[in-house]
Every structure is written in structure tokens, then in C-alpha cells.
């Protein structure tokens, strides 16, 4: 138990986050957040997408080919 308003850290593995350009109704994932791509950093066959959702910035790992396939770019709206 922690007091309301107390600060804490939460970690979600970057490769456990799904990224889409819009809602996918058939998807079993229920924790959905709208966000905006801030930056994309390429690392060989992977890319890290920095996605802003409210006051949080998430680092989301995708295969590099997904960047083009999803038309990911700074300012792109994602879910």
C-alpha cells in the first residue's frame, strides 16, 4: 500500500508494446493509449520509436521495416 500521490516507477519492456496507426478492434489487448511519435532511432534491424502519451514518453521497439509499413514519422498519431 502506498499513499495517494506517492511517486513510483513502472517498467514495461519495449518489445511488449504494440504500435498501430489506429484502433484494431479484433486485438485482444485492452490497455490502449493514444499517442504521438516524437522521434525514431534506428538500430540495425530494429527501431525505437519514442511515443508521447500525455506526460509520459514510451520507448517502443519495432522491426525497422514496420516504420515504413506503418508510415511512422515524427508527429504521426498512433495507438
For residue 76, the model assigns a pLDDT of 97
pLDDT digits (tens, 9 = 90+) for 28-66: 777 888 999 999 999 999 999 999 999 888 888 899 999
Task: Give the whole-angstrom CA distance, residue 44 versus residue 1.
Answer: 43
Average pLDDT over residues 18-26: 85
Q: Which cell goes with 65?
A: 521495416
Enumerate the β-bridge partners of residue 47.
42, 62
Contacts of 38 (CB under 8 A, 6+ apart): 50, 51, 52, 57, 74
For residue 30, the model assigns a pLDDT of 75
Q: State the chain's mean pLDDT as an integer.
A: 89
- Percent of the chain having pLDDT more than 90? 53
Amino acid at each position: 500500500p502506498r499513499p495517494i500521490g506517492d511517486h513510483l516507477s513502472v517498467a514495461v519492456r519495449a518489445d511488449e508494446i504494440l504500435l498501430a496507426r489506429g484502433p484494431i478492434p479484433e486485438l485482444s489487448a485492452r490497455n490502449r493509449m493514444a499517442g504521438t511519435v516524437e522521434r525514431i532511432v534506428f538500430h540495425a534491424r530494429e527501431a525505437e520509436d519514442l511515443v508521447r502519451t500525455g506526460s509520459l514518453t514510451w520507448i517502443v521497439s519495432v522491426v525497422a521495416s514496420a516504420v515504413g509499413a506503418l508510415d511512422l514519422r515524427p508527429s504521426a498519431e498512433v495507438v
